[in-house]
């Protein structure tokens, strides 16, 4: 179980970095091309994506340099807050933000948080083995 959580986390880190770079180079992944959506609101979303890519790279570097999981929890919370914030921002301003973008942010957030709590989950399952009655 711990190995699957670790692989999922590593996959989500690469998805966040490469997906963010892809979204920065092709912003129609975040906002559909057909929407006449320009100006400050589009730039604000663009900056959110850029901020997430940069912070993920920095936190990824510190995570492997220090072997700490605190950065993982922080990044997971940032992803979840951003997913909720983008959805709220889109609702308030009637913006056509891609649902896939919001779901991807939520997946990344939950993957990071699950990785943070993985040792506790493993310790809990070892402490309370499944009770089988023969």
Residue 130 counted as domain residue: no
Is 109 inside any structural domain?
A: yes
Domain assignment present for residue 118? The answer is yes
Instruction: Note whether residue 66 is domain-resident.
Output: yes
**Host domain of residue 103:** 2-28+37-125
In whole angstroms, give the CA distance from residue 35 to residue 37: 5
In a domain, 51, yes or no: yes
Which CA distances in Å does 6 have to 65, 70, 89, 113? 17, 15, 32, 11
Q: How many CB atoms lie within 10 A of CB 17?
A: 16
Of residues 80, 91, 13, 95, the one with CA closest to residue 46: 95
Phi-psi region of 67 (alpha: psi -120 to 50; beta: other; left: phi over 0): left
- Residue 133 placed within a domain: no
Residue range 32-79, pLDDT digits in tens: 665 566 667 777 777 877 887 787 788 777 777 777 788 888 889 988
Task: Establish if 14 belongs to a structural domain.
Answer: yes
Give the global pTM.
0.77
**Is residue 103 assigned to a domain?**
yes
Query: With 80 as the cut, is the pLDDT of residue 22 above it?
Result: yes
> What value does the mean pLDDT of the chain take?
79
Q: Give how many domains the chain has, as a whole number.
A: 1
């Amino acid at each position: 179980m711990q190995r699957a959580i670790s692989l999922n986390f590593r996959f989500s880190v690469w998805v966040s970095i490469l997906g963010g770079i892809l979204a920065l180079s092709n912003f129609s992944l975040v906002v559909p091309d057909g929407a006449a959506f320009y100006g400050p609101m589009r730039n604000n979303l663009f900056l959110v994506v850029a901020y997430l890519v940069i912070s993920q790279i920095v936190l990824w570097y510190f995570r492997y340099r220090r072997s700490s999981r605190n950065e993982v929890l922080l990044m997971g919370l940032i992803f979840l807050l951003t997913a909720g914030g983008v959805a709220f921002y889109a609702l308030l301003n009637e913006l056509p933000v891609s649902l896939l973008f919001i779901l991807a942010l939520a997946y990344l957030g939950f993957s990071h948080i699950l990785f943070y709590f993985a040792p506790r989950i493993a310790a809990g399952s070892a402490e309370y083995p499944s009770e089988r009655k023969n």
